[in-house]
């Protein structure tokens, strides 16, 4: 009875993420149609048994393109989180463990990074380099560094005071050993929460950038660019924006609920 | 309570979806109506012309300068064209007709142009337009008064004579049949140069006011010299509206009467409220093939690409069917110089294309980098269709989107590209259009090299009578097709939307809003 309300978001989150992940995996082997195949005869046809989500302005099957686009979404999300997590982990762990001037220096750097509105920073980076999948991933990765750095630093400072850490310091264990063997395993849960939130944030930011024409470039499929392409047809072919927008929403919602769920169930234990 | 809210939201959403679905079917009916009216002239001619009224026109770009000799923006020029008149003007087929000039002669050696001016032309400030003003204007354009030449078309002028107040003789340095079309440039009053603030011309409308970023107001010129063409309208307001969606909404709300370039989707949204004038705009959309890079330097490969690209399909998908297929770098909008029949020389034929690829030694295809300016969704969409079409003959197209400014630098100027998609805007003079392919022309970024072509263009320039000139230009077009210089895709239609009750808007081979004939009906 007590755990039920808390597990519902987690359950929904997991099912959404699993469904979308499976769809993504399937898209490697099978899509209903070739996502890039153009059929001028059946342009902008509404959802039907033949085309479940309808077709776009080129007569391409929207479902197939959404499936193909999920690869891009996962790839950018995953890579951005990896970059952000790796760099954030190094910064956060150093700052949190050693404290002192190094902490000051690193955290002020992170503050500076955080002072930029994320999407603006990404737009700037993408315009400096050439727009494309690579620079989008790097930009989104940099964008997510501060979050990871702060969370990891905070948790490390928190756990450092515990006796078992103090004990291993007294035993003369090396810093790396303490960080990796004793501290990190204890803070996986906040990292997981941050990672899943940052993942959905990256997917959303990638869509935003692509919508502005700065992110993933054709012919790589992207949900954000699909939205952009759908915009002129918002009144004549509303299914195009609705299906694409819905999928982005579900993906982001799924990862957010997953993150929230992990945090909640964790609180429950504590 | 909470549940209640959720139910209500859901219901609202449902109603909304239903409504959009309804309006959507409505829209499709309108489209069917609309497509009847496209192609050529305006629909339902009614006769009752009403004098007076105000017309509000949505313009998508800001005015760069009101001075016609300073302004470089096509939109600005087409607005101010109503304020200024030149010696000549153009009609709907691109033929030159006298405006301020009564008539003109060209000497047999083609070096001497004599213009006789109308004697009743007055500027908006009341002063009379005489030969002196023409000399002032042309010397300024040609840089003969010590300044930099403003227009390269006028640099060819050697000297200007004025035997009388209403006669001007222009001597050219060398023969050029292209000079005549240059005479549509505005004539300005001598020794007045405050046009940026208060432009004064001799056109059918007078400048009234201009608010930066908002609107330009013109008033009818009751003293216009061509009595038959004194405008019906009292006032014209050009409203600057950079966002196409907001101009459509404004038209829906009745705040705008004319949208000069409207998308098919915009028309769907406006439905019955508007009628359209639509036709070729003398633009040439091409997939330019850099003739100097491997393997595009082989004619067979270029021909194979031409055979593989299905232009009808591009027009259907990218332009909603509103475009006319081209076969050479020339639009039928300029009827007189247009060589018909070239558009079907490379009718889509994959088998034939594969044969040519094999003959060229590219049986297994190759990789082709297609650079497209990302600012133009139209070209990006075209590129996406072409990528698919060229897969048929195993050409693996790598789409590269770049900003228009870098496109101008890398592709247009430095010629660092393999293939690109771009639209050439209409010019009134066939020479300006076709000289792009002359071997030593510096903007020949396609790197087309063909001695016979250069010869034809030269002959056209030296031609004395229009028929011979047209024949040379037509020959030149055939050479471009024969050599498959590039893939000449289409001339997308320009569609002008007008509120019901307005009539008289015409299409020209250059962007021109001739508002003299626009009028309300009963």
pLDDT the model gives residue B36: 35
CATH of residue B473's domain is 3.10.105.10
Does a structural domain hold residue B225? no
- B364 and B482 assigned to the same domain: yes
Q: Which residue of B has its CA nearest to A44?
A: B317
Does a structural domain hold residue B39? no
CATH of residue B119's domain is 3.90.76.10
Does a structural domain hold residue B383? yes
Residue B33 has pLDDT above 60, yes or no: no
End position of a domain, from candidates B139, B160, B195: B195
Q: Mutation target for A interface from B317, B325, B406: give the one with most A CBs within 10 A.
A: B317
**Over chain B, what is the mean pLDDT?**
84
Does a structural domain hold residue B165? yes
Q: Which residue of B has its CA nearest to A228?
A: B377
Cβ pair B61, B73 in contact under 8 A? yes
pLDDT the model gives residue B35: 35
Cβ pair B33, B272 in contact under 8 A? yes
Which of helix, strand or coil describes residue B113?
A: strand
pLDDT the model gives residue B438: 92
Low-confidence winner among A203-217, B167-181, B318-332, B446-460 (lowest mean pLDDT): A203-217
Instruction: Look at B20 and A38 and tell me if their CB atoms are within 8 Å.
Output: no
Q: Report residue A208's pLDDT band, with 50, 70 and 90 as the boundaries.
A: confident
Residue B15 has pLDDT above 50, yes or no: no
Does a structural domain hold residue A137? yes
Most confident region among A171-180, A212-221, B69-78, B221-230 by mean pLDDT: B221-230
In terms of pLDDT, which residue wins out, A178 or B489?
B489
Mean pLDDT of A217-246: 85
Instruction: Look at B265 and A59 and tell me if their CB atoms are within 8 Å.
Output: no
- B471 and B333 assigned to the same domain: yes
Query: What is the sign of the dihedral through the CA atoms of B387, B393, B398 and B402?
Result: negative
- Closest partner residue to A38 (CB to CB) among B20, B28, B317 is B317
Counting residues of chain B whose pLDDT is more than 90, the rounded percentage is 38
- B337 and B470 assigned to the same domain: yes
Distance from CA of A229 to the nearest CA of B (A): 9
CATH of residue A96's domain is 1.10.3720.10
- B449 and B327 assigned to the same domain: yes
Does a structural domain hold residue A8? no
**Alpha-carbon gap, residue B247 to B253, rounded angstroms:** 10
- Closest partner residue to B27 (CB to CB) among A36, A219, A235 is A235
- B293 and B176 assigned to the same domain: no
- Closest partner residue to B385 (CB to CB) among A38, A213, A232 is A38
Assess A238–B contact: CB distance below 8 Å, yes or no: yes
- Tell me the residue length of chain B: 522
Give pLDDT tens digits for B350-387: 999 999 999 998 988 899 999 998 878 889 989 999 99
Where does residue B505 rank: exposed (0-12), middle (13-18), buried (19+ CB within 10 A)? Answer: buried
Which ipTM was obtained for this model? Answer: 0.71
Number of domains within chain A: 1
Contacts of A236 in chain B (CB under 8 A): 24, 27-28, 265, 268-269
Closest CA to B466 of B414, B431, B502, B427: B431
Assess A266–B contact: CB distance below 8 Å, yes or no: no
pLDDT the model gives residue B52: 85
Q: Report residue B334's pLDDT band, with 50, 70 and 90 as the boundaries.
A: confident
Number of domains within chain B: 2
**Omega within 30 of 0 (cis) for the link into A219:** yes
Q: Mutation target for B interface from A213, A240, A246: give the one with most B CBs within 10 A.
A: A213
Q: Report residue A6's pLDDT band, with 50, 70 and 90 as the boundaries.
A: low
Instruction: Look at A232 and B265 and tell me if their CB atoms are within 8 Å.
Output: yes
Q: Report residue B487's pLDDT band, with 50, 70 and 90 as the boundaries.
A: very high
pLDDT the model gives residue B147: 80
Distance from CA of A267 to the nearest CA of B (A): 26
Q: Which residue of A has its CA nearest to B406?
A: A130
Q: How many CB pairs under 8 A join A and B?
A: 59
Residue A9 has pLDDT above 50, yes or no: yes
Does a structural domain hold residue A1? no
Mean pLDDT of B462-470: 84
**Alpha-carbon gap, residue A267 to A186, rounded angstroms:** 14
Does a structural domain hold residue B72? no
Does a structural domain hold residue A130? yes
Does a structural domain hold residue B141? yes
In terms of pLDDT, which residue wins out, B4 or B336?
B336
Q: Which residue of A has its CA nearest to B31?
A: A236
Give pLDDT tens digits for A11-62: 898 999 999 999 999 999 988 888 888 887 788 888 888 888 888 888 888 9
pLDDT the model gives residue B228: 85
Residue B21 has pLDDT above 60, yes or no: no
- How many CB atoms are closer than 10 A to CB B390? 22
Q: Report residue A5's pLDDT band, with 50, 70 and 90 as the boundaries.
A: low
Contacts of A219 in chain B (CB under 8 A): 384, 387, 399
Instruction: Look at A38 and B388 and tell me if their CB atoms are within 8 Å.
Output: yes
Query: Which whole-number Å values give the CA distances from A250 to A10, A13, A255, B9, B56, in the listed order?
Result: 14, 9, 9, 18, 45
Give pLDDT tens digits for B142-163: 888 888 888 888 888 998 989 9
Give pLDDT tens digits for A75-90: 999 999 999 999 999 9
Q: Mutation target for B interface from A136, A218, A229, A233: give the one with most B CBs within 10 A.
A: A218
pLDDT the model gives residue A267: 67
pLDDT the model gives residue B243: 81
Q: Would you say the pTM of this structure is higher than 0.80?
A: no
- Closest partner residue to B23 (CB to CB) among A37, A213, A235 is A235
Mean pLDDT of B449-457: 92
Does a structural domain hold residue A117? yes
- B306 and B449 assigned to the same domain: yes
Residue A10 has pLDDT above 90, yes or no: no
Domain span at residue A241 reads 19-26+61-264
Q: Mutation target for B interface from A54, A55, A57: give the one with most B CBs within 10 A.
A: A57
Domain span at residue B94 reads 84-195
pLDDT the model gives residue A4: 53
Residue B49 has pLDDT above 90, yes or no: no
**Alpha-carbon gap, residue A36 to A31, rounded angstroms:** 11
Residue B491 has pLDDT above 90, yes or no: yes
**Alpha-carbon gap, residue B83 to B80, rounded angstroms:** 5
Q: Which residue of A has its CA nearest to B375?
A: A213
- Strand B235-240, strand B215-220: pairing: antiparallel
Q: Report chain B's C-alpha Rg in angstroms.
A: 25
In terms of pLDDT, which residue wins out, B67 or B242?
B67
**Alpha-carbon gap, residue A71 to B517, rounded angstroms:** 57
Residue A94 has pLDDT above 70, yes or no: yes
Q: Which residues contact B428 (CB under 8 A, 6 or more apart)?
A: B90, B94, B96, B181, B184, B334, B509, B510
> Where do we find the tokens 């771009």?
B422
Mean pLDDT of B209-218: 91
Mean pLDDT of B5-32: 42
Counting residues of chain A whose pLDDT is more than 90, the rounded percentage is 21
Does a structural domain hold residue B205? no
Mean pLDDT of B415-435: 89
Q: Which residue of A has its CA nearest to B17?
A: A238
Does a structural domain hold residue B28? no
Angle separating helix axes A188-211 and A62-98, nearest 10 degrees? 130
Contacts of A58 in chain B (CB under 8 A): 317, 381, 384-385
Residue B311 has pLDDT above 90, yes or no: yes
Does a structural domain hold residue A14? no
- B190 and B292 assigned to the same domain: no
- Find the chain B residues whose C-beta atoms sit closer than 8 A to any C-beta of A: 17, 20-21, 23-24, 27-28, 263, 265, 268-269, 313, 316-317, 374, 380-381, 383-385, 387-389, 399-402
> Where do we find the tokens 């997917």?
A203
């Amino acid at each position: 009875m007590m755990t039920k309300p808390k597990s519902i978001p987690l359950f929904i989150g997991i099912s959404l993420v699993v469904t979308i992940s499976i769809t993504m995996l399937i898209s490697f082997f099978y899509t209903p149609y070739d996502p890039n195949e153009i059929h001028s005869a059946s342009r902008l046809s509404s959802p039907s048994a033949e085309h479940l989500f309808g077709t776009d302005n080129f007569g391409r099957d929207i479902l197939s393109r959404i499936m193909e686009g999920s690869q891009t979404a996962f790839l950018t999300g995953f890579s951005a989180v990896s970059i952000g997590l790796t760099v954030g982990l190094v910064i956060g762990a150093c700052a949190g463990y050693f404290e002192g001037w190094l902490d000051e220096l690193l955290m002020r750097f992170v503050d500076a990074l955080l002072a930029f509105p994320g999407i603006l920073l990404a737009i700037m980076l993408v315009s400096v380099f050439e727009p494309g999948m690579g620079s989008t991933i790097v930009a989104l990765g940099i964008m997510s560094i501060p979050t990871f750095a702060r969370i990891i630093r905070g948790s490390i400072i928190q756990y450092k005071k515990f006796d078992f850490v103090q004990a291993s310091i007294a035993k003369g264990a090396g810093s790396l050993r303490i960080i990796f063997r004793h501290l990190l395993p204890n803070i996986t849960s906040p990292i997981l929460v941050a990672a899943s939130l940052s993942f959905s944030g990256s997917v959303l930011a990638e869509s935003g950038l692509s919508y502005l024409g700065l992110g993933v470039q054709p012919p790589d499929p992207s949900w954000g660019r699909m939205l952009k392409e759908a915009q002129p047809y918002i009144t004549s072919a509303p299914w195009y924006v609705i299906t694409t927008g819905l999928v982005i929403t579900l993906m982001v919602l799924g990862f957010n609920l997953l993150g929230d769920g992990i945090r909640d169930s964790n609180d429950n234990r504590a | 309570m909470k549940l209640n809210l959720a139910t209500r939201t859901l219901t609202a959403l449902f109603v909304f979806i239903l409504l959009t679905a309804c309006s959507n079917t409505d829209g499709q009916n309108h489209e069917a109506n609309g497509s009847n009216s496209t192609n050529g002239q305006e629909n339902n001619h009614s006769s009752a012309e009403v004098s007076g009224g105000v017309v509000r026109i949505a313009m998508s770009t800001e005015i760069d300068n009101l001075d016609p000799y300073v302004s470089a923006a096509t939109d600005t020029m087409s607005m101010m064209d109503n304020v200024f008149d030149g010696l000549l003007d153009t009609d709907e087929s691109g033929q030159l007709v006298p405006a301020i000039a009564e008539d003109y002669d060209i000497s047999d050696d083609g070096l001497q142009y004599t213009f006789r001016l109308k004697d009743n032309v007055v500027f908006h400030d009341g002063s009379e337009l005489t030969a002196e003003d023409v000399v002032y204007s042309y010397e300024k354009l040609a840089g003969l008064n010590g300044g930099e030449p403003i227009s390269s078309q006028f640099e060819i002028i050697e000297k200007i004579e004025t035997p009388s107040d209403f006669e001007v003789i222009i001597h050219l340095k060398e023969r050029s049949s292209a000079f005549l079309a240059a005479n549509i440039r505005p004539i300005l009053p001598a020794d007045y140069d405050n046009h940026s603030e208060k432009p004064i011309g001799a056109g059918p409308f007078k400048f009234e006011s201009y608010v930066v970023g908002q609107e330009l107001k013109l008033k009818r010129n009751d003293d216009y010299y061509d009595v038959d063409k004194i405008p019906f309208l009292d006032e014209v307001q050009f409203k600057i509206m950079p966002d196409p969606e907001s101009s459509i909404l404004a038209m829906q709300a009745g705040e705008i009467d004319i949208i000069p370039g409207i998308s098919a989707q915009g028309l769907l949204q406006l439905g019955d409220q508007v009628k359209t004038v639509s036709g070729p705009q003398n633009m040439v959309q091409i997939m330019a093939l850099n003739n100097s890079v491997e393997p595009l330097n082989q004619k067979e490969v270029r021909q194979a690409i031409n055979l593989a690209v299905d232009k009808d399909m591009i027009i259907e998908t990218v332009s909603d069917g509103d475009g006319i297929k081209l076969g050479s770098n020339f639009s039928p909008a300029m009827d007189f110089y247009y060589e018909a029949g070239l558009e079907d020389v490379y009718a889509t034929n994959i088998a034939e294309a594969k044969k040519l690829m094999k003959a060229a030694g590219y049986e297994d295809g190759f990789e082709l980098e297609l650079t497209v300016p990302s600012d133009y969704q139209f070209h990006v969409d075209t590129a996406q269709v072409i990528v698919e079409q060229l897969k048929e003959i195993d050409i693996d197209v790598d789409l590269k989107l770049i900003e228009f400014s870098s496109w101008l630098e890398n592709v247009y100027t430095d010629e660092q590209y393999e293939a690109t998609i771009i639209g050439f805007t209409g010019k009134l003079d066939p020479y300006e259009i076709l000289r792009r392919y002359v071997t030593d022309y510096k903007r020949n970024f396609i790197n087309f090299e063909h001695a016979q072509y250069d010869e034809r263009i030269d002959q056209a320039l030296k031609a004395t009578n229009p028929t011979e000139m047209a024949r040379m230009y037509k020959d030149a077009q055939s050479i471009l097709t024969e050599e498959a210089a590039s893939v000449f895709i289409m001339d997308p239609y320009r569609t002008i939307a007008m509120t019901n009750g307005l009539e008289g808007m015409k299409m020209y081979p250059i962007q021109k809003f001739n508002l003299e004939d626009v009028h309300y009906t009963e």
